[in-house]
Structures are given as C-alpha cells and as structure tokens.
C-alpha cells in the first residue's frame, strides 16, 4: 500500500481545528453537558460492576443514578439552605460591624470638634473636609479665648450643621452623581444575579437528565468517537484514551473524596471549638481545598475573621490554627495516599507541573496541572514503552563502552 503524502492530512487537521474552535465558542452552552459526561464517567465503573454481577445495563443505571440523585437532592435541600442562611448572617454581621466602626469614627470626630481639637489632615485625593462631608475646617482659636465660649461655639456649629437644609442640599449636590452611578451598578448586579439564577436552575435540570442518558449510552458514545480515528491506529488510540481517562477519573474521584473528608473534618473541628456558622465555613473549606496554595489561605483567613467577629480573637486564632493544621495533615498524609497513587507522578514532577500550570493558566492551571501531567506521562509511556522498565540497575562506569576515535586520514 502506497504511503500517503503529508498534504493528504491537511483537510483532517483543518477540520479538527475548526471543531476545537467551535467547541470553544460554544463552551458556555456545552459546559453542563461536559459536567454530565464527567459524572457519567465517574458512575460508569459502578454500573459495570453491577453488570458483572448479572444486572442488566438499564437496571444498573437506574439503581446507581437513583442513589446519586437521592444524595444530590439531600445535600441540595438540607445542607445548602443552612449554608446560605449562615452566609447571609455572616454578611449582616460584617455590615453591622462596619457600620459600628463608622459610627464610632463619626462620634470621635464630633468629640474632636467639641473639645476644640484641630481637624485631621485630609487623605490624598480627598477634599479638605474631615470626618463629615461638606465640613470646612475652622481656624484654630486664639490662645486667649476661654474654653467655655469655645465649646459653646463648637456645639452651636454642630447643631447648625445637622439642622440647616442647605447642608443637606450641598451634600446631595456633591454626591448625586456617585449615588446614581452606585444605584446603576446595583441594578445591573441584580439583573445579572437574576439571569445567573435562571441559568443555574436550568443547569440543575439539564445536568441530571443528560447524566442519566449519557450513563446509559456511554459505551456507544465512546465507540462512535473512536470511529473518528483511522482504523490502523484505532487500537492504540483506544488504549491511550482508556489510560488517560483512567488517570483523570481516578484523580477526580480521589480529589472529591479528599475534599469531602476535609470539609467533614473542618465541620467537626469548628463545632467542637464553638465557631459560629460552621456549616458554611466547612463547605467553603471543602470547596476551596482543591485550589493549591490560595484555597487553604482563603479558608484560614475567613475562619479567623468570622470566628473573631463572633466569638473574640482567641477563638478566631484557635479556629485559624486548626484550619492550618488540618490542611497540613491532609496535604502530607491523606492526599498523597488517595490522590497521588491514582496519578502515578513523581513528587518532583508534580511540583514542576503545578508551577507550569500556575504560569500558564493561573488557578485553573494549578488545579488541572497534576492530572494533565499524569495524562502526558501515560501517552509518553504508551509511545515509548521501553521507558516503563523499572528496577533495572544502572550500568557501572566500567561497563559503559568508551568512545573509540576513528583514525585520522593519512595516519597508519
């Protein structure tokens, strides 16, 4: 059979690039179906185990999907409402704390005015007013002015300031533009939130339905995708695809299990310590655990701030310390045993992959770095099978043949 020229593959390459571009353009619409395929791939091993025990495919899919849907709905209607309520309480508590700080700052500024203390220097880029909008600093009183008339004058000035409508008119005139812009941003945020909520509800319907159908037909879907590969390379492509899929799915299963265990451990620890809003903080900890470096940092800082505002600095420091210690225990003991074995990367290669992923794609790159590196390793070992040899002793120095220089022309 004659070997085909290189230009024969140009149309195939163009079609592949066009398909990738189309997927990229439709990434928002295809995202729920991609999530559904991942869920179906994660549940498929359990279905195959039930098939091996004599179950029919349809019944096995219905049983596994029913259990998955029951767990999902239980979390959605029990844990999520509690977490949302706690998040709202945290938001109100922080707003109250900020308002209290602003009130105390205003009281301190009025006390400075009453006591005749000079106004504070304005910040760079801020008007000449002090703590209250529209206030113009008054010149310092002469040294011979008695304290009584000075205090009375200051009190009259404060009362005059709060009662004269011109002050309010001046305030509105100054900040009308800012208030309008803030209101416009707020309305826009409300509209986006409403649209996002509708999209989220649509996802809640699409993902389970698509997961059920893909789980029932996932073998046929994989077979159809394999038909896109030329027949002579189909066996090798199938083996590589299975290895890569096994790496990704094992990584996702392990990471999901570790994140759930970490969130459960944080929930128990926060409840024992007495930190308020333990459910919301534990969900945050479990959701952010897969994000390297930044995820644990956000968890520790959030727990410290929330616990400090609710229970005092001592409980805040204890909660932050417990979160930091739990993260170290999981990173050093739990995660390598559950996730590390599934990928099969050397620790040095894992660190290189994390740094490369962070440099290329930021946080998303750090999350996907380890499974992508594991998939690349699988492909390389499939293409270069002699690299799989393990445990072979390195040749001794005397066993390495020395390089023999060829004789130069003209010498005998």
Main-chain dihedrals φ then ψ at residue 194, nearest 5 degrees: -65, -45
pLDDT in tens, 207-241: 889 999 988 888 888 888 788 777 777 788 888 88
Q: Is the pLDDT of residue 385 over 80?
A: no
DSSP label of 389:
-
pLDDT digits (tens, 9 = 90+) for 89-116: 777 777 676 666 667 666 666 766 676 6
Residues with Cβ within 8 Å of 105's Cβ and at least 6 positions away in sequence, in order, are 131
3-state secondary structure 24-57: HHCHHHHHHHHHHHHHHHHHHHHHHHHHHCCCCH
**More confident: 298 or 90:** 298
Query: Is 392 a residue whose pLDDT tops 50?
Result: no
Kindly state the average pLDDT of the residues 169-174: 48
Whether 316 and 393 have beta carbons less than 8 Å apart is answered as no
Q: Which residues contact 52 (CB under 8 A, 6 or more apart)?
A: none
Distance, CA of 358 to CA of 329 (rounded, Å)? 23
Render pLDDT for 234-281 as a digit per residue (tens, 0 to 9): 788 888 888 888 888 888 888 888 999 999 999 999 999 888 888 889
C-alpha to C-alpha distance for 107 and 42, rounded to whole angstroms: 60
SS3 state at 216 = helix
d(CA 103, CA 147): 27
Mean pLDDT over residues 69-91, rounded?
A: 82
Q: Both tokens of residue 94? A: 């922080």
Cβ(215)–Cβ(40) under 8 Å?
A: yes
Q: Which of 72-86, 131-145, 155-169 has the highest mean pLDDT?
A: 72-86
* Token pair in block for residue 238: 């199938």
Question: With bands split at pLDDT 50, 70 and 90, how would you rate the model's confidence at 185?
Answer: low
Give pLDDT tens digits for 303-335: 998 888 878 888 889 999 999 999 989 888 888
First to last CA, the chain: 50
Q: What is the pLDDT of residue 159?
A: 44
Rounded to whole angstroms, how far apart are CA atoms 61 and 65?
Answer: 6
Residue 172 and residue 179: Cα distance in Å, rounded? 9
When mean pLDDT is compared over 191-205, 325-339, 397-411, the highest value belongs to 325-339
311's tokens: 């229970």
What is the predicted pLDDT for the residue at 388?
67
Structure token pair of residue 269:
């620890």
In this prediction, residues 75-95 reach a mean pLDDT of 78
Q: In the chain, pLDDT over 90 holds for what percent of residues?
A: 8
Residue 412 has pLDDT above 70, yes or no: no
Q: CA dist 70 to 39, 50, 64, 81, 106, Å? A: 15, 19, 10, 17, 53
Q: Please tell me the distance from the alpha carbon of residue 258 to that of residue 333, in angstroms, as a whole number.
A: 11
* Residues 289-309, mean pLDDT to the nearest whole number: 85
Residue in 112, 159, 162, 164 with CA at minimum distance from that of residue 138:
112
For position 325, what pLDDT does the model report? Answer: 93
* pLDDT surpasses 50 at 146: no
In whole angstroms, what is the distance from residue 38 CA to residue 44 CA? 10
> Given this model, what pLDDT does residue 14 score?
84
List phi, psi (to 5°) of 259.
Answer: -65, -40
* Mean residue pLDDT across the chain: 73
CB 326 within 8 A of CB 304: no
Choose among 281, 279, 263: nearest CA to 319. Answer: 281
Q: How many CB atoms lie within 10 A of CB 383?
A: 10
- Residues 155 and 110: their CA atoms lie apart, in Å, by 9
Task: Give DSSP secondary structure letters for 100-117.
Answer: HHHHHHHHHHHHHHHTTP
Q: What is the DSSP-derived secondary structure letter of residue 138?
A: P
117-139 average pLDDT score: 47
- Residue-level pLDDT at 180: 45
Query: Rounded to 10 degrees, what is the CA torsion of 187, 193, 199, 205?
Result: -130
152-161 confidence digits (pLDDT tens): 454 445 445 5
For residue 148, count other CB atoms closer than 10 A to its CB: 8
Residue scoring higher pLDDT (163 or 186): 186
Which residues, 6+ apart, have CB-to-CB distance to 298 below 8 Å?
Answer: 284, 288
Measured over the CA atoms of residue 67, residue 68, residue 73 and residue 75, the dihedral's sign is positive
13-17, 164-168, 253-257, 374-378: range with lowest mean pLDDT: 164-168
- By CB neighbour count within 10 A (0-12 exposed, 13-18 middle, 19+ buried), where does 20 fall? exposed
Report which of residues 192 and 396 the model is more confident about.
192
When pLDDT is averaged across residues 337-363 and rounded to a whole number, the result is 75
Among 38, 64, 65, which Cα is nearest to 53's?
Answer: 64
């Amino acid at each position: 059979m004659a070997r085909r020229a290189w230009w024969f593959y140009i149309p195939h390459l163009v079609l592949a690039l066009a398909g990738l571009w189309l997927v990229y353009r439709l990434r928002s619409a295809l995202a729920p179906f991609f999530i559904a395929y991942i869920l179906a791939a994660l549940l498929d091993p359990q279905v195959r185990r039930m098939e091996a025990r004599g179950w029919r495919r349809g019944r096995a899919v219905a049983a596994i999907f029913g259990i998955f849907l029951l767990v999902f709905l239980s979390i959605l209607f029990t844990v999520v409402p509690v977490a949302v309520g706690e998040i709202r309480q945290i938001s109100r508590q922080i707003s109250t704390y900020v308002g209290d700080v602003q009130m105390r700052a205003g009281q301190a500024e009025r006390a400075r005015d009453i006591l005749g203390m000079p106004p504070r220097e304005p910040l760079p880029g801020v008007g000449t007013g002090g703590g209250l909008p529209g206030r113009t600093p008054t010149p310092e009183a002469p040294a011979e002015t008695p304290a009584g008339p000075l205090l009375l004058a200051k009190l009259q000035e404060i009362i005059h300031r709060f009662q004269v409508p011109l002050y309010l008119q001046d305030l509105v005139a100054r900040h009308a533009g800012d208030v309008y812009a803030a209101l416009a941003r707020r309305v826009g945020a409300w509209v986006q939130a409403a649209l996002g909520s509708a999209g989220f509800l649509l996802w809640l319907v699409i993902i389970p339905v698509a997961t059920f159908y893909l789980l029932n037909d996932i073998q046929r879907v994989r077979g159809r995708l394999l038909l896109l590969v030329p027949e002579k390379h189909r066996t090798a492509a199938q083996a590589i695809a299975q290895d890569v899929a096994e790496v990704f799915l094992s990584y996702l299963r392990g990471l999901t299990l570790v994140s759930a265990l970490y969130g459960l451990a944080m929930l128990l620890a926060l409840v024992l310590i007495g930190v308020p809003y333990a459910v919301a903080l534990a969900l945050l900890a479990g959701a952010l655990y897969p994000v390297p470096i930044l995820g644990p940092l956000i968890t520790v800082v959030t727990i410290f701030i929330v616990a400090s505002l609710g229970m005092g600095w001592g409980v805040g420091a204890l909660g932050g310390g417990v979160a930091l210690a739990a993260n170290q225990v999981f990173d050093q003991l739990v995660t390598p045993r559950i996730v590390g074995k599934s990928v099969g990367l050397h620790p040095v290669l894992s660190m290189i992959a994390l740094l490369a992923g962070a440099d290329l794609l930021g946080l998303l790159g750090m999350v996907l770095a380890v499974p992508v590196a594991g998939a690349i390793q699988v492909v390389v070992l499939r293409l270069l099978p002699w690299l799989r040899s393990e445990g072979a002793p390195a040749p001794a120095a005397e066993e390495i043949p020395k390089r023999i220089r060829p004789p130069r022309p003209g010498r005998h």
